[in-house]
């Protein structure tokens, strides 16, 4: 019996040493030194794509990450993102989709986009403060299944460092050219050629126009020609407004961001039109605090965020509508929509 005890004791120490070395090899140190796999080099989390990557094979094909990695160790390794740290204590041992998203499959079979559980955290207001972005009735539905799912998320976000800040060079699926801002990323798909395998639908108002890139950036061999043929909400400079004024800091030469009018993920308004004046970040205080509701094809509450006619009729969101000094239709989109002045000289949108 005494000899058996002598054998068991060193065996216990050996197994403990193997377990600890496996955890350290994965990047968990719990040293409190602020080091993390992504902090030093964004988008460079340790990849578990062969047995030797995971503690010399000790953790390979194990789907229970929390079995070896304690919450304290995970918090230390991910301290570059306080929001990410907060999520670890709110998930259970089966919620390891985010681990696979950043670190690879770890040899597990059947891993798909749905395995990543993006909405497990991002649609839960107890974990992510911006969870309301997924509450809208209309969704940015990429695969046509009628809902926002993890498969939709990874079309635009094939990788994200999840540090709580949007960086177009890190958090969006890479295209053929570098993005300068969020609008340039949006136009990478909405350019009529189906980037990332996704072909956006044609515009309701002009079924021939699926290429919003050309309506926004213009067409032609030179920048000056492109600016002349683009929409004035895009890169073209307008000629002022004869029937209204601009709100806040908006002006004739403003290139309006896609996010000024559209929500990215979901919205209760059609075409993912924003439901809040906060999207129009250059508007005045009244517009920033207004709600936006699109009724049928009446976009007047949206237009009133940036445009105002002094003495005009009030809109239902507490702003003042735009009034033409003529007999034009009261529905803005009868004349004004993406591509309305495309390739011409009219300043219709």
Q: Is the alpha carbon torsion for 217, 334, 291, 121 positive or negative?
A: negative
pLDDT tens digits along 126-161 = 888 888 889 999 999 888 888 888 889 988 988 887
Question: Is the pTM value of this prediction over 0.85?
Answer: no
Structure tokens at 141: 């539905």
pLDDT score at 6: 44
**pLDDT classification of 183: cutoffs 50, 70, 90:** very high
CA–CA separation, 272 and 141 (whole Å)? 11
Burial of 267 (0-12, 13-18, 19+ CB in 10 A): buried
Of the ranges 52-66, 80-94, 211-225, 258-272, the best mean pLDDT one:
258-272
Q: Is 97 helix (H, G, I), strand (E, B) or coil?
A: helix
For the chain, what are the domain ranges? Answer: 2-156, 227-349
Give the contacts of 221 (CB within 8 A, at least 6 positions apart).
none
**Residue that wins the pLDDT comparison between 336 and 25:** 336
Q: Is the alpha carbon torsion for 30, 33, 35, 39 positive or negative?
A: positive
Q: Is residue 307 a contact partner of residue 325, using CB atoms and an 8 Å limit?
A: no
Helices assigned H by DSSP within 278-338: 285-288, 300-303
Look-up of token digits 């990543």: 116
**pLDDT classification of 346: cutoffs 50, 70, 90:** low
Q: Is residue 77 a contact partner of residue 37, using CB atoms and an 8 Å limit?
A: yes
Structure tokens at 340: 């309305």
CA–CA separation, 331 and 338 (whole Å)? 15
pLDDT at 273 over 90: yes
Residue 77 is inside which H or E element, if any?
helix 71-77
pLDDT score at 44: 64
| 118 φ, ψ (degrees, to nearest 5) | -55, -45
| 224 φ, ψ (degrees, to nearest 5) | -65, -40
Tell me what percent of the residues of the chain surpass a pLDDT of 70.
79
pLDDT tens digits along 55-112 = 888 889 988 888 888 888 888 888 877 777 877 777 777 778 888 888 888 888 888 8
Beta bridge partners of 314: 320
Range from 130-139, 193-202, 214-223 carrying the lowest mean pLDDT: 193-202
Q: What count of other Cβ atoms lies within 10 Å of the Cβ of residue 204?
A: 11
pLDDT average, residue stretch 316-330: 79
Range from 79-83, 179-183, 265-269, 309-313 carrying the lowest mean pLDDT: 79-83
Cα separation values, 161 from 16, 78, 105, 171, Å: 32, 10, 17, 7
């Amino acid at each position: 019996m005494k000899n058996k005890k002598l054998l068991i004791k060193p065996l216990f120490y050996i197994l403990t040493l193997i377990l600890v070395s496996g955890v350290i090899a994965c990047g968990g140190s719990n040293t409190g030194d602020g080091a993390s796999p992504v902090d030093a080099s964004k988008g460079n989390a340790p990849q578990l794509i062969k047995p030797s990557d995971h503690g010399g094979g000790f953790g390979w094909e194990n789907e229970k990450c929390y079995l070896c990695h304690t919450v304290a160790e995970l918090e230390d390794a991910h301290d570059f993102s306080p929001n990410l740290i907060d999520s670890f204590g709110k998930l259970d041992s089966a919620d390891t989709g985010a681990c696979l998203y950043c670190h690879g499959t770890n040899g597990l079979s059947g891993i798909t986009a749905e395995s990543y559980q993006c909405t497990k955290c991002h649609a839960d207001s107890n974990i992510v403060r911006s969870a309301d972005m997924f509450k809208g009735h209309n969704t940015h539905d990429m695969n046509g299944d009628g809902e926002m799912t993890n498969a939709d998320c990874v079309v635009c976000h094939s990788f994200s460092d999840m540090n709580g800040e949007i960086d177009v060079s890190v958090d969006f699926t890479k295209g053929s050219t570098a993005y300068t801002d969020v609008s340039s990323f949006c136009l990478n798909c909405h350019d009529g050629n189906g980037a990332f395998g996704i072909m956006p639908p044609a515009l309701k108002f002009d079924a021939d126009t699926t290429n919003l890139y050309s309506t926004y950036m213009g067409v032609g061999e030179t920048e000056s020609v492109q600016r002349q043929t683009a929409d004035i909400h895009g890169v073209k400079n307008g000629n002022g407004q004869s029937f209204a004024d601009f709100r806040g800091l908006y002006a004739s030469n403003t290139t309006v961001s896609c996010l000024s009018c559209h929500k990215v993920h979901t919205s209760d308004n059609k075409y993912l039109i924003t439901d809040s004046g906060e999207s129009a970040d250059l508007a005045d205080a009244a517009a920033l605090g207004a709600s936006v509701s699109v009724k049928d094809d009446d976009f007047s509450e949206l237009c009133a965020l940036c445009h105002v006619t002094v003495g005009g009729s009030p809109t239902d969101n507490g702003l003042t509508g735009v009034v033409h000094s003529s007999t034009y239709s009261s529905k803005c989109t009868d004349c004004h929509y993406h591509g309305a002045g495309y390739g011409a000289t009219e300043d219709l949108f």
